[in-house]
Amino acid sequence: MYFENKDDMLKKLYLDTKQKMGAKMFADTDGMDIKASLAKVIRNYIDYIRENKEAFLFLQQFTNSPYMSELDDQEANNYFTPMYQLVKRGRQEGVFKNVDDDVLFAYIEPPITEAAKRYFRGEFEFTDVRIKSLIELAWSAIKK
């Protein structure tokens, strides 16, 4: 892979890392009902976080950097098309609240991300009970 400069390298590394995370998150979710799919995505995301500390922390750093504003939103979000499709399907089936995608995502991803940051500081464990709680809280926040 060729990089024009350091900025180009960081952007390409971000997109590559995000693609790998997306592939892990949406693995084995085909054919499931809406709730089971959401639960699987959340569990897969937590597994990715625990197995890829450096990648997760890099994504967090990049997302909060000025580089993020230089990326094409479409390019950055391509890897999460399955999540957008899940939300669309949830709305079509009358399962999810009819609000903007970004609002729905605000009730799914940030609590997991915050728990992950605490996990890496040794302040939180992803026990089965806590993972189930994260799933149920996300579900109750976005379902009708």
Read off the pLDDT of residues 41-100 as tens digits, 9 standing for 90 and up: 999 999 999 999 999 999 999 999 998 888 877 777 888 889 999 999 999 999 999 999
Residue 74 lies in a domain: yes
Whole-number pLDDT of residue 2? 81
> Which parts of 1-144 fold into alpha helices (H)?
6-25, 34-51, 53-63, 73-77, 81-92, 101-106, 109-120, 128-142
The total number of structural domains that make up the chain: 1
CA 77 to chain centre: 11
Residue 93 lies in a domain: yes
Residue 102 lies in a domain: yes
Predicted TM-score (pTM) of the model is: 0.92
**Can you give the residue range of the structural domain that contains 92?**
6-142
CATH of the domain at 127: 1.10.357.10
